[in-house]
Chains A and B, each alone.
Chain A
Amino acid sequence: MIEAKDIHFTYPNGVEALKGVSLTIQNGEFVAIMGQNGAGKTTLVKHFNGLLKPTKGQVLVDNVDVKKVSVASLAKSVGFVFQNPDHQLFSETVEEEISFALKNFGFEKSVTEARVTWALNLLGLTQYRKTSPFMLSGGERKRVALASVLAWDPKILMLDEPTIGQDYQQKEKLRQFILQMKTQRKTIIIVTHDVEFVAECNPRVLLMREGKIVADGEAKTILTNPSVLMQASIVPPQVVQIFLQLPELNLPKNVIDVYEAREILLNILEKKAR
């Protein structure tokens, strides 16, 4: 469980990135943190693995104050995948990249190999096992960075913009994977701008603006509330945009799924046709 109690954070250059954030994330929750560039999303999640320590307030991960432990000791339970894979990748082959942390955590060789194979397979990277990460495309490098964290099976997984550069099939795989992690009671936190991805996953959404949380609730509720979204510079999902433009039809609120939208519209079109 993650608990943040009125945390504030000011960067050394004086920028106040968090201005009093309180929240609780239970084990097994899937949370999407959304908001404008500079709203404090990445700063917030960096507090959950101890990369940043609050200037004021307290962060507890499984009842441990992150101020009192090192990033290294938190890393095993809190995995963080950076937004830009180039900030994370450094090895000569994809395989070495993925096994690096496993070796550091002292896993046996056979375990390390099995985990690497599993992660490569999961993210469709098996063919690149011996390739240099820097030979790969942006989207593929992003998956290598993800694989290297997944490999050690952290309890809490934080992904900063996981869908950047990913095609639709990869996003679908990511979605399936997150759902699978959820059934294992793992906590998944994503920082994302990808409103269509969030609409497909329907997680809990935390909306941030200027260092504060301005909305917290189900994706269905938040992504269908244009005035709240506007505050956080988020464009509603297309299904929501379509529904908003048809006020005279008295369509149900809280629809973000394209198949649900089909059922509703088919009904109306058929009624009219009769």
Chain B
Amino acid sequence: MALIETKDVTYTYPGATKPSITEVSIRIERGEFALITGPSGCGKTTLCRCFNGLIPHFYQGEIKGEVTVAGLDVAEHEIFELAKHVGLVFQNPENQLFALSVEKDVAFGLENLGLPREEMRKKVDWALNLTEIYDLRERAPHELSGGQQQRVAIASVLAMQPEVIVLDEPTSFLDPLSAKKIFEVIYDLNRKLGITVVLVEHRLDLTAKYASHIIIMDEGRIAQDGDPREILRSEEARLIGVGIPKATRLYQILKKDGARLGETVPLSSDEMATTIKEALENH
């Protein structure tokens, strides 16, 4: 059974004249690293809000269809119950952080689960170390830079060790090296701990190589859904306005001009460099 499954989900925010997402049916299997992308305003964030129950419990409005996460029907379970299974990291960390210290923010979800103090301590330290903010643990989140705040937001979700973490452009305030580090942390969680990842991102240059599954949305609907290498080589993806990684784009236009390159579509500069080397050796 899929870890996240939506069946024909259509949702309209209160007061809106048209739905933000329309007849969305997707399946994300356990252990996948799923990338959701698409033009700004296409419904990505709205879809994520369905995964942890913010829709329909917090956002009213009109919902049709079914959302199941870890076997639970989202409409029938409260947000706090779903939080044990799904962690959501928002686009804007300021919307998420509220405690007086970083440590308290990271511990908040665990306190609500009523864990013993020692276990809580361990999990909090683990999450702080993974995101490299252990030294900031006594600082007030609102004093931190945007990038540091994003790390706190990610740490507070990680501390819960959920089965799936949903990250909505989690590194948009970080510089590229810090962003890369965070993506590697997330990728490690996926590879080593088997945590399912759903990542919403525009910047495929940085993230496509991690993905095992890509979903492209356009105007509230699912436009493409499948293997990243297949989907990102297609002209359709580019025409929707998806920022194809430059390495993949270079492969695409070289192929179009008749260059004899291998059939595996590169998703990163490393893969593209290898593709070129192989092409030269094979001549």
Q: How many A-B contacts if CB must be within 8 Å? A: 152
Of A136, A194, A196, the contact of B246 (CB 8 Å cutoff): A196
In contact, A36 and B202 (Cβ under 8 angstroms) = no
Bound: A243/B246 CA distance, A: 12
Known: A138-B45, A168-B243. A265 touches B259 (CB 8 A): yes
B239 to A, closest residue via Cβ? A169
Asked if A262 and B250 sit within 8 Å, CB to CB, the answer is yes
Task: Please name all residues of chain B whose beta carbon is closer than 8 Å to the beta carbon of A259 when the two chains form the complex.
Answer: 253
Cα A171 to Cα B109 with chains together (Å):
37
Q: How far is the CA of A238 from the CA of B248 in the complex (A)?
A: 10
How far is B38's CA from A235's CA once the two chains are assembled, in angstroms? Answer: 24
Q: Which of B74-82, B173-181, B221-229 contacts A (4 or more CB under 8 A)?
A: B173-181
C-alpha gap A196/B208 in the complex (Å) = 15
What B residues does A154 contact at CB under 8 A?
A: none
Known interface pairs A37-B174, A137-B40, A138-B45; A167-B257 also in contact (CB < 8 Å) = no
Q: Which residues 15-67 of A have a CB within 8 angstroms of B? A: 35-38
For residue A128, which residue of chain B has the nearest CB?
B41
A273 to B261, CA, bound (A): 12
B205 contacts the other chain (Cβ, under 8 Å)? yes
Query: How far is A266 from B251 in the complex, measured between Cα atoms in Å?
Result: 11
Determine whether the beta carbon of A246 is less than 8 Å from that of B276: yes
User: Cβ of A139 and Cβ of B178 under 8 Å apart?
Assistant: no
Q: How far is the CB of A43 from chain B (nearest CB, A)?
A: 11
Q: Smallest CB-CB separation from A256: which chain B residue? A: B246
Q: Is the CB of A37 within 8 A of B175?
A: yes
A1 within 8 Å of B (CB atoms): no
A199: min CB distance to chain B, Å: 8
Cβ-defined contact, B172 with A258, below 8 A: no
- Which residues of chain A have a CB within 8 Å of any CB of chain B? 35-38, 83-84, 86, 135-140, 143, 161, 164-171, 193-196, 199, 233-235, 237-239, 241-242, 245-246, 249, 258-259, 261-262, 265-266, 268-269, 272-273
Residues of B within 8 A of A (CB): 13, 15-16, 38-42, 45, 91-92, 94, 145-148, 169, 172-180, 202-203, 205, 238, 241-247, 249-250, 253-254, 257, 259-261, 268-270, 272-273, 276-277, 279-280, 283
Which 7 pairs between the two chains have the least Cβ-Cβ distance? A139-B40, A241-B269, A245-B273, A169-B241, A168-B243, A238-B246, A233-B177
